[in-house]
Structure 1
Amino acid sequence: MMWKAIICHAFLVPLALGNDAPCESIGGTCQQDTLPCPGGYQSGLCGGGVNRRCCKQNDEPCVNIGGICQQDTLSCPGGYQSGLCGGAANRRCCKEKDVRCVNIEGTCQDDSKPCCGGYETNLCGGGRNRRCCKETDEPCVSFGGTCQQDSLFCSGGYQSGLCGGAANRRCCKDTPCVSIGGTCQDDSLSCCGGYQSLLCGGGVNRRCCKEKDEPCVSIGGTCHEDTLSCSGGYQSGLCGGGVNRRCCKERDTPCVNIGGTCQDDSQPCCGGYQSLLCGGGVNRRCCKEKDAPCERIGGTCQQDSLPCFGGYQSGLCGGGVNRKCCKGSGSGGTCCGVKIYSRRSWGAKPLRSSTRMSTPASLFIVHHTARSSCNDFTSCAAEMRFLRKKGWSDISYNFLVGEDGAVYEGRGWNPVRGPIIRYMYNHRRLAVAVMGNFINRKPNAAALNALKNLIKCGINLGYITSTYKLYGHRDVSWTACPGDALYKEIKTWPRY
């Protein structure tokens, strides 16, 4: 009996150890399943009671990324990764559940990380935040395309070599949308310029956002080819797409029809503003600037089929040829949007000599004084007094402009400058100088606006023809005046 007990005892331990071998071979540990086990339990791999099961504790890192630990001699479409499994060195993590992501050249990762190509769901193992990053689709995505099977419809046509995955995964271009200056995106996103359908590849919610048309839309316009009719006139530089896609200010037509201009009502408007005639924001209103010449003489612009006791005068109103100025009892006028200091205000003495010129003048000639600039009344008035003493019979210009934004009267609207009457242009031109030297820089905005408003003023008061020609001094004489920078500026103005 003794030897039977010894034999039985001798085989107890090897039998128990042998029954745990299947668990240990996969890197597990046999224990009571009432104990915690992060990697989960698997039955049938341990000896002992039914509650003694295999805890795959060492496989947890692999399990967390959606993988399976196995011998690396077995097939694994998703590829192996080392250091994530328990057991022997050749037991590695097979990312089997990431296969679908890998097949489209993606990478499974936590979606809190940046991903240029965008994320796609349900292609990765692991937690809900582990998603497929289509990093290799970036070339297609970067110019507004979508990577998809080329058997699917694509309005913009396919381009190869821009997508990851199989050879038939190609980039569906959004050409129709891009060609009109738009961007294809999900229509749940905000789009200032509005959405247009059927111009983008991808799903039904992927539509064309005309974001690049926003500058035109904001002023009440519509972007389209400039070969189409546009009653409100076209404006360039406000639309996306080709060079022929321009902003049609169609919604400004009611204002244009009465001779007005739509603009922000914070800007000066000699003719006064009228509401509800312009597109765009509530502050974009109709400035009846083109009616100002009529209003300056106390008239009213209207259709000449209406009665007018004072009689009609042409050429003073905007709008159609039948919109004429009905003259009232008023006469004369004042300048709007420009401050003019009289000779007396800046300390001039009476004119020594002058010859009256015929008005309205047909030429407007711009000069610079080639001296110091001035930025307030005190310095500008002092400069005016200096210029009067330069040896001529009086100051040489009809008006001068300071960088304080004001105009200073020289010889005024009618007289020509005494010492150089022999110049052939004197009797039919107005000469205005900007105080300063503008070879290397142009005058500030205040001075340029004052110069423009002075021209408008002269037209309104009848001293300058509406068909005047604008010149720099160098255009009519051998001189560098009015300086390279100012000359370059006025060459961009109307009527140069």
Structure 2
Amino acid sequence: MPKPPRYVSRSDLGWGKSPAAGANPRSGLVIHYDSIDQGLAGKAHSACITYWKATREFHTGPSRGWADIGYSFLCCSHGHVIEGRGLRKVQAAQPGGNSTYYSATLATGPRDEITEAQIDAVRALRQWLMEPDTSIAGTVKGHRDFISTSCPGDKAYALVRNGTFKQPPGSGGGSEDDMVGLRKGDSGERVKYLQVVLADAGFSPGEVDGDYGASTAAAVLAARKSRGSKETSGDKITGWAAAQIMAAHAVKLGG
């Protein structure tokens, strides 16, 4: 099966086959970050490679003693998917899901930018892993869904929760801009994005089916009213409506 665009393999890194134990993860993809800001978005892509090699040295060194780098993949700020343990390997990334989920770190810290290219790399990786040869579920989780941790950071976890990483590659950065212009009667992935954001904000649109019907319109109106809107209809998404929905979502997530 064709690899994601901008794929960097272990052989490209000068690494041999991962010595980690075998597994057949099928449950989905888990997102991670680095607890320290790295500033990689403002550096050349070579800095991402340097970071990845240093991470492997740390993970296999005396303080960890793991068989290999802990993650399956890195999705870097420049849009590359960089192989870690790779396919069909147990990870050391998320206790409780190391043999059932693949892992992808963004190598970002709490204040680092998550770029649109990076978001698209996650989407491309997920799409690739869902193809018949690996057939993972489309689920995307964060490290904190398994244990008490700050990982993958509030920025990345908001993108996990609102469905941004589950959109097809090329769908945009996952923000209010992806909602603006939608109206009752519309259908498709942008509507699904709206519905996921509404549901995560605590305003159920009914089934997340990509159809902007009466239930979605009611959820839109409820979300807007929670932010003080005097509107009487949720039948369309203006820029102001999108901003209010995202504000309601941020409040729900503690943002």
Alignment TM-score, normalising by the size of structure 2: 0.56
- 8 Å contact from structure 1 (residues 356, 414) kept in 2: yes
2:23 counterpart (352, 357, 373):
357
Contact kept, 8 Å, 2:28 with 2:140, in 1: the verdict is yes
CA gap of 1:420–1:480, structure 2 versus 1, over 3 A, is: closer
Matched to 1:478, the amino acid is S
The amino acid of 1:451's aligned partner reads: V
Aligned: 1:433 with 2:105: yes
TM-aligned CA distance change 1:364 to 1:464, over 3 Å: farther
- Per-residue deviation at 1:446? 0.6
- Structure 1 residues 226-375: aligned runs within 5 Å: 333-336=1-4, 338-348=5-15, 350-351=17-18, 353-359=19-25, 361-371=26-36, 372-375=38-41
1:346, distance to aligned residue in structure 2 (A): 2.3
Q: Name the structure 2 match of 1:174.
A: none
| Higher RCO, 1 vs 2 (CA within 8 Å, ≥6 residues apart) | 2
Shift of 1:484: 0.8
Identity %: 22
What are the equivalent positions in structure 2 for 1:18-417 lying under 5 Å apart?
333-336=1-4, 338-348=5-15, 350-351=17-18, 353-359=19-25, 361-371=26-36, 372-375=38-41, 376-390=44-58, 391=61, 392-417=66-91
Quote how far apart the aligned CAs of 1:458 are: 0.9
SS in structure 2 at match of 1:400? strand
The match for 2:146 is 476
**Who is 2:247 aligned against?**
none
Q: Deviations over 1:122-146 (max 9, x none)?
A: xxxxxxxxxxxxxxxxxxxxxxxxx
Q: Retained in 2: the 8 A contact 1:442–1:486? A: no
CA distance in 2 between counterparts of 1:434 and 1:492 reads: 17
Give secondary structure in 2 for the equivalent of 1:478: coil
TM-score by length of 1: 0.30
SS at match of 1:440: coil
Q: Which structure has the highest strand share of the two?
A: 1
2:154 counterpart letter in structure 1:
D
Task: Give the whole-Å Cα distance in 2 for the aligned partners of 1:456 and 1:345.
Answer: 22
The 1:477–1:446 alpha-carbon spacing in structure 2 relative to 1, beyond 3 Å, is same
Contact 2:24–2:89 (CA under 8 A) maintained in structure 1: no
- Aligned partner of 2:212 in structure 1 is none
Instruction: Tell whether the 8 Å contact from 1:348 to 1:385 is kept in structure 2 after alignment.
Output: no
Deviation track 1:39-93 (CA, whole Å, cap 9, x = no partner) reads: xxxxxxxxxxxxxxxxxxxxxxxxxxxxxxxxxxxxxxxxxxxxxxxxxxxxxxx
Q: Secondary structure of the residue that 1:378 maps to in structure 2? A: helix
> Which runs of at least 4 in structure 1 moved beyond 6 Å after TM superposition?
none
Q: Which residue identity does 2:128 align to in structure 1?
A: C
CA contact (8 A) 2:31 2:142 kept: yes
Mark the runs of 5 or more structure 2 residues left unpaired by the alignment.
168-195, 197-255
Change (3 A) 1:414 1:450: same
Taking structure 1 as reference, are residues 427 and 386 closer, same or farther at Cα in structure 2, changes over 3 Å only? same
2:97 equivalent to 1:458: no
C-alpha distance in 2 between matches for 1:373 and 1:393: 28
* Aligned mates of 1:483, 1:420 — CA distance in 2: 15
Aligned length in residues: 157
Could you say if the C-alpha distance between residues 445 and 383 of structure 1 is closer, same or farther in structure 2, counting changes exceeding 3 Å?
Answer: same
Q: Distance in 2 between matches of 1:345 and 1:358?
A: 24
In structure 2, how many angstroms separate the alpha carbons of the residues matched to 1:354 and 1:335?
21
Q: Which has the larger radius of gyration?
A: 1
Shift of 1:349: 5.0
Q: Which secondary structure state, in structure 1, belongs to the residue aligned with residue 124 of structure 2?
A: helix
Q: Is the 8 A contact 1:373 1:402 kept in 2?
A: no
CA RMSD of aligned residues (A): 2.3
Residue in structure 2 matched with residue 424 of structure 1 by the alignment: 96
Structure 1 stretches of 5 or more lacking a match? 1-332
Deviations 1:165-186 (A, max 9, x none): xxxxxxxxxxxxxxxxxxxxxx
